[in-house]
Amino acid sequence: MIDMKFLRENPELVKENIRKKFQDHKLPLVDKVIELDAQNRAAIAEADALRASRNALSKQVGMLMGMAKKDPSKLEEAEKVKEEVKKNAERLAQLEQDETRLQEEIRAIMMQIPNIIDPSVPIGESDEFNVEVARFGEAKEAEFDIPYHTQIMEALDGVDMDAAGRVAGNGFYYLMGDIARLHEAVIAYARDFMIDKGFTYCIPPFMIRRAVVEGVMSQTEMDAMMYKIEGEDLYLIGTSEHSMIGKYIDQMIPEESLPHTLTSYSPCFRKEKGAHGIEERGVYRIHQFEKQEMIVVCKPEESMDWYEKMWRYSVELFRSLEIPVRQLECCSGDLADLKVKSCDIEAWSPRQGKYFEVCSCSNLGDAQARRLKMRVKTADKKTYLPHTLNNTVVAPPRMLIAFLENHLQKDGSVTIPEVLRPYMGGKSVLVPNK
């Protein structure tokens, strides 16, 4: 959510930003919210004047009532002033109702207007216009036929999709044996990797209130992703970023404590609405998964430096696991409304002969801070909004697809990189049973 003062003073810039995001249907919202803001400011000004007048008139009534003891004619004058005070009170009550209504309408519209994107963001309508920036590691073509990832897992007695379908329906899975252990090994390795980078490890709440949901994401994202707990003001998190950033709701953060760098583990729950292609079967796009996340709360002037560090951490992690990756800059039309800048880290799939998304790194500027009413207090008692960033460290089981394909051998075995072996009980290879 952008600043109302900024919008009021730069309406054409805000409209141009909307056009860059190919959301022309939102253009009328700018003029509408400016009109509502003018009405609200007028109501506030009139209400303030009435409050000042009320205080003066109240003093006048008291003075006239005192004078009426000696001059009864002053009593009639006092009654007239009392009537004026009553009328002012009725008008003030109406203005206060108008202020509440207008502020709610303004906030509802402002929640729909996208954040101002960084000038470096490529312009494009959809993810087809995302731009490859760099590749890391050699993306080798497969020298033998690589089975679909669930077939690799099944050969290792590592997955049971049928049982999960009977228990919970489509979009769920049972991971078994070495595959389940590999899943947890990757999570544990990612945790320690981020701790070594100086991040504080955290396990957050897995449910959050609506106020936090609205603070960290757009209404469109919320409707498409979040599961609501019936009868409760609680939602299951779609990523631990939600509860990690929500940790700072209504908080005043001492500037000397910045930056806050946290890495968190959580299960994640997503509706995953919409039709998906054949390459999203198995454990690619699912309703429940586990994830290691990183978030940063920092000074505005430091946020782009952190953005660069964070996506490079993802590259370093995947390369340590001997998985080739590339960085893809997200175009304007592919950015969620709160994001200033974002990129995806994609892993190489030798079976498909292409890359697919495994991490997403985003700088949200001060949008989440403004929605959540987060503030930073300086040593001289001034306040400002911090910037927030988030990035996936690793999200198995999707990451396991890249891992299994890149480490599969012709005989069906799967090699374990050296950095992961301590988390796998020393195993260097997984051997299929089938």
pLDDT digit of tens for each residue in the chain (434 aa)?
Answer: 899 999 999 999 999 999 999 999 999 999 999 999 999 999 999 888 888 776 666 655 556 555 655 566 665 565 566 677 777 778 888 899 999 999 999 999 999 999 999 999 999 999 999 999 999 999 989 899 999 999 999 999 999 999 999 999 888 999 999 999 999 999 999 999 999 999 999 999 999 999 999 999 887 778 788 899 999 999 999 999 999 999 999 999 999 999 999 999 999 999 875 445 545 577 877 889 999 999 999 999 999 999 999 999 999 999 999 999 999 999 999 999 999 999 999 999 999 999 999 999 999 999 999 999 999 999 999 999 999 999 999 998 889 999 999 999 999 999 999 999 999 999 999 999 86
pLDDT at position 218 is: 80
Residue 54 forms part of a structural domain: yes
Residue 218 forms part of a structural domain: yes
pLDDT at position 285 is: 79
| Identity of the residue numbered 323 | I
Euclidean distance between CA atoms 51 and 56, whole angstroms: 9
Domain span at residue 225 reads 127-430
What crossing angle do the helices spanning 73-110 and 27-67 adopt, rounded to 10°?
A: 160
| Residue 235: CATH number of its domain | 3.30.930.10
| Residue 88: CATH number of its domain | 1.10.287.40
82 and 184 co-located in one domain: no
pLDDT at position 275 is: 41
289 and 348 co-located in one domain: yes
* Strand partners of residue 345: 327, 359
Residue 119 forms part of a structural domain: no
242 and 312 co-located in one domain: yes
What crossing angle do the helices spanning 303-320 and 177-196 adopt, rounded to 10°?
A: 140
134 and 240 co-located in one domain: yes
55, 80, 110: which is the final residue of a domain? Answer: 110
Long-range contacts from 342-345, C-beta under 8 angstroms, 24+ separation: 343/133, 343/311, 344/130, 345/311, 345/314, 345/315, 345/318, 345/392
96 and 135 co-located in one domain: no
3-state secondary structure (DSSP) of residue 365: coil
Model confidence, pTM: 0.88
pLDDT at position 340 is: 97
264 and 352 co-located in one domain: yes
Residue 121 forms part of a structural domain: no
95 and 132 co-located in one domain: no
Residue 382 forms part of a structural domain: yes
pLDDT at position 9 is: 96
Residue 116 forms part of a structural domain: no
Residue 115 forms part of a structural domain: no
95 and 135 co-located in one domain: no
Question: Which residue in 114, 137, 190, 187 sits closest to 342, CA to CA?
Answer: 114
51, 77, 110: which is the final residue of a domain? Answer: 110
> Which residues, in sequence order, are CB contacts of 192 under 8 Å at separation 6+?
none
Residue 122 forms part of a structural domain: no
How many domains is the chain partitioned into structurally? 2
Euclidean distance between CA atoms 92 and 99, whole angstroms: 10
151 and 97 co-located in one domain: no
84 and 216 co-located in one domain: no
106 and 197 co-located in one domain: no
83 and 198 co-located in one domain: no
